[in-house]
Amino acid sequence: MKLKQDWLNQFSQIKLPSAYFMAGGYVKSKQSYGVSNPATAEHLVDMSACDMDEVDQVVQCARNAFKSGVWSCLSPRERKEKLKKLADLIRENAEELALLETLNVGKPIQDSLHVDIPGAAFCFEWYAESIDKIYDEIAPTSKDQLAMVNREPIGVVAAVVPWNFPLDLASWKLAPALATGNCVVLKPAEQSPFTALKLAELAKQAGIPDGVFQVVTGLGHITGQALGRHPDVDCLVFTGSTETAKKFLAYSAESNMKPVWPETGGKSANIIFADADLDKAVDKAIFGAFYNQGEVCSANSRILLEKSIAQQFTEKFIEKAKTLVIGDPLDPNTNMGCLIDRQHAMNVRAAIAQAKMQGAQSHTIELHLDAHLDVDSYVAPTILTDVNPDFNIFHDEVFGPVVAITTFETKEEAVELANHSIYGLAASIWTKDIQKAIILAQQLLVGTVSINTVDALDVSTPFGGYKQSGYGRDLSLHAIDKYTQLKTTWIQL
């Protein structure tokens, strides 16, 4: 296992990217913005900030690549070979990618190395392997007619993604979009552009033609908006906040009516019944609430406890939370790092303060940080009890290491509380009564229900939300629907 010093040595040797990626190479923008390491507040690079004209050039380059057929007209098997090569290159460069991810967002290096980067490689491999096994259709028309229904790539796809899982969430969009023959312009979040840029380098190395996968860097309201409003972008896929998704819907309505596919926020409930295996439920609830510093769209940020076990569960949960190792993200022993930046950490602290003012009891795990770390970007894991549904903390997505605990007495009340949200991304149920769990799962208005686990996820299962958590699905073969359009060709025999 690499030690912290090994990572620091590697950091001193790598060249951090600082330009956007167009037509197979890096291009410096006229303007730039600062990117820093949130764990230490150290300035890392001045990153290119693409304006409308630069975004336009990149989109035109994608359009030309699409029209030329260098990618869209390859056979599925040829695209598969190149995407599998990209998956291999991600694995070969896993350490550098993991380091870049951790430097950008402050997540523990072990998570970057063992979860995020292998997840991205597997996602490319899975779609590469799928694409030459999907057949088109012949419709059941009458005998003197032949109606073929074919999937065609949609054209130029823009993907705008957030900072919490930068490479993984980009891969969830890129892999199915590229596998189906589209050209993609990716805009990473301003805080986390490094792995997106490195991925573009690797894609070139894998033989993916110039212009097929490009990366624009810059600020959301400028670079992101330019993509959202661009008349020659055929489809916009988005992961991020509900608030920004609504802006993309407006950009589309005000430009070319491009389909917008939003994957947005959540306030997922973890419902724990008295007959559950409490120790397992505690372990998983810790993961559900605090993994990735709680910066997870499907984080189980609300725990709903059957009243008879509330005290016992809460005591065990607080004890378990004390075992989290919060510290330097480059230290392999750390299992909780810092938040994405000082501003976000401040917002999280404000949400905690508001919950306390409204009557919640707060239990905070003590932080012991090394002096070189930026204490302003860290938030201690916080457990809020006695939370009732009137409190803001019950409804607002905080996106940090904060969990709100509420109690219930009947299963009907549990469902009512869980569904009492504008979001509907995920939920968990803990009980030994599997029949009860399945009936409740049918009543929960969410995209994924995990039973006796939390946040279950696999590339083979669709991921997405009900209500204001978005629509359309990432992952699984269902994601292909977003990146293809159906063409009917009717032959009168």
Question: Does 61 participate in catalysis according to the annotation?
Answer: no
Looking at 79, 85, 230, 247, which residue binds ligand NAD (CB under 6 A)? 247
Looking at beta carbons only, is 181 or 193 nearer to ligand NAD?
Answer: 193
Q: How far is the CB of 382 from ligand NAD (least distance, A)?
A: 18
| 268 interacts with ligand NAD by CB under 6 A | no
Instruction: Choose between 252 and 406: whose C-beta lies nearer to ligand NAD.
Output: 252
| Residue 340: CB minimum distance to ligand NAD, A | 7
Pick the closer one to ligand NAD by CB: 209 or 218: 218
Touching ligand NAD, residues 126-165 (CB under 6 A) = 160-164
> In three state form, how does the secondary structure of the chain look?
CCCHHHHHHHHHHCCCCCCEEECCEEECCCEEEEEEECCCCEEEEEEEECCHHHHHHHHHHHHHHHHHCCCCCCCHHHHHHHHHHHHHHHHHCHHHHHHHHHHHHCCCHHHHHHHHHHHHHHHHHHHHHHHCCCCCEECCCCCCEEEEEEEEECCEEEEECCCCCHHHHHHHHHHHHHHCCCEEEEECCCCCCHHHHHHHHHHHHCCCCCCCEEECCCCHHHHHHHHHHCCCCCEEEEECCHHHHHHHHHHHHHCCCCCEEEECCCCCEEEECCCCCHHHHHHHHHHHHHHHHHCCCCCCCEEEEEHHHHHHHHHHHHHHHCCCCECCCCCCCCCECCCCCHHHHHHHHHHHHHHHHCCCEEEECCCCCCCCCCHHHCCCCEEEECCCCCCHHHHCCCCCCEEEEEEECCHHHHHHHHHCCCEECEEEEECCCHHHHHHHHHHCCCCEEEECCCCCCCCCCCECCEECCECCCECCHHHHHHHEEEEEEEEEC
C-beta of 176 vs 224, nearer to ligand NAD:
224
What's the min distance (Å) between Cβ of 396 and ligand NAD? 11
**Which residue's CB is nearer to ligand NAD, number 225 or number 431?**
225
Q: Spot the catalytic one: 123, 297, 306, 397.
A: 297
Binding of residue 36 to ligand NAD (CB under 6 A):
no
Q: To the nearest whole angstrom, how small is the minimum distance from the Cβ of residue 425 to ligand NAD?
A: 6
**Gyration radius of the chain over CA positions:** 23
Closest distance to ligand NAD from the beta carbon of 447 (Å) = 9
CA–CA gap between residue 470 and residue 472 (Å, rounded): 7
Select 198 or 363, whichever has its Cβ closest to ligand NAD. 198
Site for ligand NAD in 319-358 (CB under 6 A): none
Binding part of the chain for ligand NAD, among 329-337, 381-389, 437-445, 464-472 by CB under 6 A, reads 464-472
Binder of ligand NAD out of 99, 175, 189, 426 (CB under 6 A) = 189
| One character per residue 407-446, x = contact with ligand NAD (rule: CB under 6 A) | ------------------x---------------------
Of the candidate residues 209, 224, 327, 424, the single one contacting ligand NAD (CB under 6 A): 224
For ligand NAD, which is the closer residue by CB, 289 or 437? 289
Exactly one of 228, 327, 400, 424 binds ligand NAD (CB under 6 A); that residue is 228
Q: Tell me: does residue 225 bind ligand NAD (CB under 6 A).
A: yes
Q: Is 129 a catalytic residue?
A: no
Minimal distance, residue 75 CB to ligand NAD, in Å: 31
Q: How far is the CB of 299 from ligand NAD (least distance, A)?
A: 8
Rounded to an integer, what distance in angstroms lies between the CA atom of residue 341 and that of residue 107? 12
Positions in the binding site for ligand NAD (CB under 6 A): 160-164, 169, 187, 189-190, 220-221, 224-225, 228, 239-241, 244, 247, 263-266, 297, 397, 399, 425, 465, 469-470
- Known catalytic residues are 263, 297
